[in-house]
Amino acid sequence: MITLTSDFGSPYPAAMKGVIRRHTDAELIDVAHDLPRGDPRAAAFWLRFVLPEFPPAVHCAVIDPGVGTDRDALVVRAGAHVIVAPDNGLAMPPARALAGDESDVEAWTVAVEDPASKTFHGRDVFAPTAARVRTALDDATGESGADSLDADLVAETLAGMDDLTPASDPVDVRFPEPTVERAEESEEGGDAEDGEVLAVDGEVLAIDRFGNVITNVPGELVRGRDWVRVNGDLTPVAETFGAVDPGERLVTVGSHGYAECDVNDGRGDGAFDLRPGDSVRFVPDSVSL
Amino acid sequence: MITLTSDFGSPYPAAMKGVIRRHTDAELIDVAHDLPRGDPRAAAFWLRFVLPEFPPAVHCAVIDPGVGTDRDALVVRAGAHVIVAPDNGLAMPPARALAGDESDVEAWTVAVEDPASKTFHGRDVFAPTAARVRTALDDATGESGADSLDADLVAETLAGMDDLTPASDPVDVRFPEPTVERAEESEEGGDAEDGEVLAVDGEVLAIDRFGNVITNVPGELVRGRDWVRVNGDLTPVAETFGAVDPGERLVTVGSHGYAECDVNDGRGDGAFDLRPGDSVRFVPDSVSL
Amino acid sequence: MITLTSDFGSPYPAAMKGVIRRHTDAELIDVAHDLPRGDPRAAAFWLRFVLPEFPPAVHCAVIDPGVGTDRDALVVRAGAHVIVAPDNGLAMPPARALAGDESDVEAWTVAVEDPASKTFHGRDVFAPTAARVRTALDDATGESGADSLDADLVAETLAGMDDLTPASDPVDVRFPEPTVERAEESEEGGDAEDGEVLAVDGEVLAIDRFGNVITNVPGELVRGRDWVRVNGDLTPVAETFGAVDPGERLVTVGSHGYAECDVNDGRGDGAFDLRPGDSVRFVPDSVSL
């Protein structure tokens, strides 16, 4: 199996599939081709969410604002999974999620011949590399498209590929952890109980195609509350969009486990005026300002 | 084969595919992932149109505005086909279309363990259920991904699955039949011949992504006419959009066999001011008002 | 393998896949279903770009503004590839690209029974024809879905199909060649060196979904320059969008090898006021006007 991810729209990914079909019959599964354009950070977020659902596979992910520059092409092993991607950080967060343990992630740079195109390395570099890796793994397991891979076999196979060189320092994307402010014993005069959350300073990780604002604030910090202040504005917390009227704002916990700023039947990014990377402060309704 | 339908956009359906691939190698075919959001009725319309083209298969369809509530998850047998879907009515119209005969449709509720997410039952409930059904069918036929299924074998296999319980009263969606007013013998003073259609009172079933307004009025009631009044406005009837100038309104018969209110190179929903569920009255040009 | 291309959006292509699955298990790969609506010329451009990446396959391409008229359905052999498409020209440019040599392209018309629908020949005519061709090829090679085809075997197989008749004069689309004006020896008083490009008069071939304006001007005529006048306006030439500020115009060479008129983080079609078929004149900055 080879999964494919890009910001290419259509019909460019089909060219990648054609190239792969010249090398291998491995099954092709599209993850997405409409990810935010030229945004490796958003791609890292979404791939970290989706790829761990798959059994071991080769994942080819091309969100590549640096195409045409001298950025490297990477092959990253994460447990028994392999990610083929430009060296711009997008591969590392999903690799850590796939491996579970950071020590089970290793990266190689790909020796790239001068490609046919300066602007379509998806077709000319990444698709052929994914196909070569897939073929090497199939040869190693003796099965075509076999996904019964283990990490040791994958590591050994990649180490044996002539065009791969261990990568010394691949670009990485780190998603920030939110800062959680809690009531302390020593605090005087406050109404809050010890350990109670007073505020969470987080950040917007991504906006999905519906305009839902995905933050890095863990869902458990808002779940079960009725109201929360989002950057000062009191907002209802609900499990489903239908809990508020169409056009009204709410905070939910998305399927990725993070708090989201949403609008029922509308766009949260506009209503909350939030963009990826923006700061977002959650203050429980129960905390006196 | 497992077909997949949702209103999830991207990349969420890929998470469902990853989950399925942990259980079975059955072929995956996307029907659509951009169906109108949270609208089981629209999904029922489109699936009733598309699914009957397939040979017997498992169809996983997740348009689920009730996610997070206690609505059931259903497995519906329709002849030798199986639909896995939330219990909100979307499965029943396509099931009747697949079975041909309503008596060949039966439904079970799925015993659902507490899912990982309150908001992504596509990944946590419906995809694993579809995979389990597919695997049970494959075990029953002795072939992997076999689609040479007959209704009796499917019925027997589903009846033997431990986590399925016969559904007593699944939610249903019924599409209304239009009311056709015809000239009668006894009518005096009219110009109309006996049996001639004087008016059809129908309803908008769906709007497609081009803005074409799909009604429940059978195509044969308009086909062959030159003009028809749509809610009072005289509109040309044509077989192809190109029969009228760009921007002009027309009535056609769509591939689903129903009369559509369209605009050449434009949107019919805006031009005719029609939404799903709205009433629409067709009066032949030949009938004096 | 059968590739599928259309302007149908969703879920119509799934109906085509269902029909194909009643005849053959051949792998199905989507090229695009969001091509410009009713525009065989744009489809020809994109298929000419994408299909040559594939190994020999059957390609079913339905952009069909003439559906419901008496235009023919074609089966076109291009080397060992087969294109199934309406007879409106879209098949011929990709066929020439696939075959390499125009003499290795031949076309048949398909004897079409009265289809179920006047408006959905994708499902009722082209999908079944592609499936029949695929099955005939599989029977000829003795392998299911075999793509190890050679041109002679494909030609022989198609010639043996009862419902195909040699097409006398299929509709063709020809993309114009640009006119290149160069400095001549005899020219007096000019600053230009002999053979230097003074101007290129080209045409807009297509607009992609990002609004990038794809011309028929070969990339080598602009690559390496710093500036070029586009219809009189001085515009920077760059290898990557990031070379100019967001919202600024630039000329790049796209992955198809042609000069493009683009805007970084914006739409080139609006900024340059260019549409498919429009004239576009490139004058090197070094040429005095």
Confidence (pLDDT) at C58: 97
Does B209 touch chain A if contact means CB atoms closer than 8 Å? no
Using a CB-CB cut-off of 8 Å, the residues of chain B touching A242 are 65
Q: Positive or negative, the Cα torsion across B246, B252, B256, B258? A: positive
Topology of domain B179-284, CATH: Elongation Factor Tu (Ef-tu); domain 3 (2.40.30)
Using a CB-CB cut-off of 8 Å, the residues of chain A touching C98 are none
Angle (CA) C1-C4-C9 rounded to 5° is 150
Does A3 touch chain B if contact means CB atoms closer than 8 Å? yes
Mean local confidence (pLDDT), A83-99:
97
Residue A213 to residues A90, A210, A261, B179, Cα–Cα distance (Å): 20, 9, 5, 46
CATH of C2-166 given 2.70.98.60, 3.40.50.10790, 3.40.50.10860, 3.40.50.300:
3.40.50.10790
Residue of B nearest to C24 (CA): B55
Query: At residue A60, what are phi and psi to the nearest 5 degrees?
Result: -105, 115
Interface confidence, given as ipTM, is: 0.90
Confidence (pLDDT) at C80: 96
Q: Where are the alpha helices (DSSP H) in chain A?
A: 12-21, 40-50, 92-99, 121, 127-141, 151-159, 268-272
Pairing of strands A105-110, A73-78: antiparallel
pLDDT at A241 over 90: no
pLDDT at A186 over 60: no
Confidence (pLDDT) at C265: 84
DSSP B27-58: -EEEEES-SPTT-HHHHHHHHHHHGGGSPS-E
Confidence (pLDDT) at A146: 52
Confidence (pLDDT) at C256: 86
Does C31 touch chain A if contact means CB atoms closer than 8 Å? yes
Confidence (pLDDT) at C257: 87
Confidence (pLDDT) at C187: 55
Quote the CA–CA distance of B185 and C202 in Å, as a whole number.
69
Distance from CA of A209 to the nearest CA of B (A): 8
Confidence (pLDDT) at B112: 86
Mean pLDDT per block of 10 residues along chain B (289 residues) reads 95 97 96 92 95 97 88 96 97 96 94 79 96 95 72 96 95 93 69 80 90 94 92 92 90 91 93 95 81
Confidence (pLDDT) at A187: 55
Quote the CA–CA distance of A251 and A227 in Å, as a whole number.
8
Residue A156 to residues A140, A149, A229, Cα–Cα distance (Å): 9, 12, 52
Confidence (pLDDT) at A119: 79
Inter-axis angle of helices C40-50 and C92-99, nearest 10: 20
* Widest Cα–Cα separation across chain C: 72
Confidence (pLDDT) at B145: 55
Does C112 touch chain A if contact means CB atoms closer than 8 Å? no
pLDDT in tens, A44-53: 999 999 999 9
Name the residue facing C50 among A9, A14, A67 (closest C-beta): A14
Distance from CA of A204 to the nearest CA of B (A): 18
Confidence (pLDDT) at A145: 54
First-residue to last-residue Cα distance in chain A? 53
Confidence (pLDDT) at C186: 55
Interchain CB distance below 8 Å, A11 and C35: yes
- Quick count: other Cβ atoms within 10 Å of Cβ A96? 18
| Residue in B7, B33, B50, B263 to test binding to C, most C beta-carbons within 10 Å | B50
Residues of chain C with confidence (pLDDT) below 70? 116, 144-148, 185-192, 288-289
pLDDT in tens, A55-73: 999 999 999 988 877 899 9
Residue of A nearest to B123 (CA): A53
Return the structure tokens found at C172.
Answer: 């063709």
Name the residue facing C21 among B32, B33, B54 (closest C-beta): B54
Distance from CA of B30 to the nearest CA of C (A): 7
Quote the CA–CA distance of B259 and B153 in Å, as a whole number.
39
DSSP B223-240: TT-SEEEETTEEEEB-SS
Residue ranges per domain, chain C?
2-166, 179-284
Angle (CA) C190-C195-C196 rounded to 5° is 65
Mean pLDDT computed over every residue of chain C: 91
Distance from CA of B252 to the nearest CA of A (A): 29
Using a CB-CB cut-off of 8 Å, the residues of chain B touching A43 are none
Query: At residue C34, what are phi and psi to the nearest 5 degrees?
Result: -120, 30
pTM score of the predicted model: 0.92
> Which helix (DSSP H) or strand (DSSP E) does residue C129 occupy?
helix C127-141
Confidence (pLDDT) at B191: 61
Confidence of residue A179 (pLDDT cuts 50, 70, 90): very high
Least confident range of A112-126, A167-181, A218-232, B53-67: A112-126
Distance from CA of B287 to the nearest CA of A (A): 42
pLDDT in tens, A120-148: 899 999 999 999 999 999 999 887 655 56
Confidence (pLDDT) at B288: 62
Confidence (pLDDT) at C145: 56
